Amino acid sequence: MERPQRFPDMIAVLRSWYDLAALPSFGPKARAVSLALGAVVLWATWPTLATWARPTPPFLVLSLASVVGFCVFIIRASAFGKVGAFVRTSPRTTLLVAVGLLVNNILYFMAMPRIGPAEANVISYLWPILLVLILSVMRRTPILPGQWGGILAAFVGAGLAIGPTFARGFDLPGITLAFMSGLIFGVYAAIRSRGHEPHDVIGPSMGLIALICMVLHFAFEEPTALTVAQCFAIAAIGIAPLTLSNALWDRASRSGHTAPISGIAYLTPLVGLLLLTLFCVASISWLTVAGALPIVFGAYMASRSH
């Protein structure tokens, strides 16, 4: 009597879901949208997991999380027989991805304790709006009236979102750090949209980020003993918002369907706020939620006109 082939079938299904190209019912645009949705769900865990990892120094968090992410990609590359492509990733691409993700996340970590995880998340996720502006400059295309309206609505929303911080004192450095975090990722996303690699490039960059952050940790941060809860939070950061989310987004951004996936990215602040509330990690004011809604709406209008 033959044994049922359940496990090989399950592995094939999981592999097909990740690659998506293996699913014949998915067209190019649908594949890009599916990848972007996956990235949004994983990105949205950043504020909650980062709060759980505190007060661990940021360089230590990113170093250990990057080690976890690097191991995840090595295991995946080995399972799918793609170790050769993993190793052959060009140094230029590896450096670009490492610097973009490292600077973006360090600025976010620095902003979060100053203005709060919810506010930092909302302001940092102005990056899809900034991406519309950056792509217009790169492609030398005019910004349409609908785009300007969307951009204005998004910045009004950001103003509402940071409103609660005025009661604690207007923290301009914290707001600037969160905004620069978004700007850096917008520039990075615009550059990566021109990439043509047939394989994932995030994994090798995780190794470089781990090395850089470990050096910076020993140079500028005090040694810290981690609790079990912090270790789990850091491992989750390495698996979800730091690596797999960026891998999904990187593949989606190289599809050429920039407008629809940029619109989807604007859902991240709302999902992030929802997770913060569900897990009782941070108190969310109505102004923060009210600020997130115009950002989502404005970004949708800007990407739709794009």
Residue 12 lies in a domain: no
256 assigned to some structural domain:
yes
Residue-number span of the structural domain to which 174 is assigned: 31-305
Tell which wins on pLDDT, 149 or 255: 149
Q: Does 240 or 169 have the greater pLDDT score?
A: 240
Domain membership of residue 112 (yes or no) is yes
Residue 50, in any domain of the structure: yes
Domain assignment present for 249? yes
Please check the confidence at residue 1 and state whether its pLDDT lies above 50: no
pTM of the full structure = 0.77
Looking at residues 44-66, what average pLDDT do you find? 88
Angle between helices 46-53 and 228-239 (to 10 degrees): 150
Cis-peptide into 4, omega within 30 deg = no
Q: How many domains does the chain have?
A: 1
The two structure tokens encoding residue 216 = 């910076």
Identify the band that residue 27 occupies on the pLDDT scale cut at 50, 70 and 90: low
Tally the C-alpha atoms within 13 A of residue 167's C-alpha that lie toward its C-beta: 7
> Which pLDDT score, from 0 to 100, does residue 93 have?
86
43 against 29, higher pLDDT: 43
Whether 186 is in a domain gets the answer yes
Confidence label for 85 from pLDDT (cuts 50, 70 and 90): low
Q: What is the pLDDT of residue 16?
A: 47
Instruction: Determine the pLDDT at residue 304.
Output: 60
Q: Which of 32-36, 72-76, 108-112, 218-222 has the lowest mean pLDDT?
A: 32-36
Highest mean pLDDT among 83-87, 123-127, 208-212, 284-288: 208-212
Lowest mean pLDDT among 7-11, 88-92, 194-198, 266-270: 7-11
- The answer to the question of residue 61 being in a domain is yes
Closest CA to 99 of 237, 174, 192: 192
Give Cα 127 distance to the centre of its chain.
Answer: 10
| Average pLDDT across the chain, whole number | 77
Instruction: Report yes or no on 2 lying in a domain.
Output: no
Structure tokens at 156: 């009004």
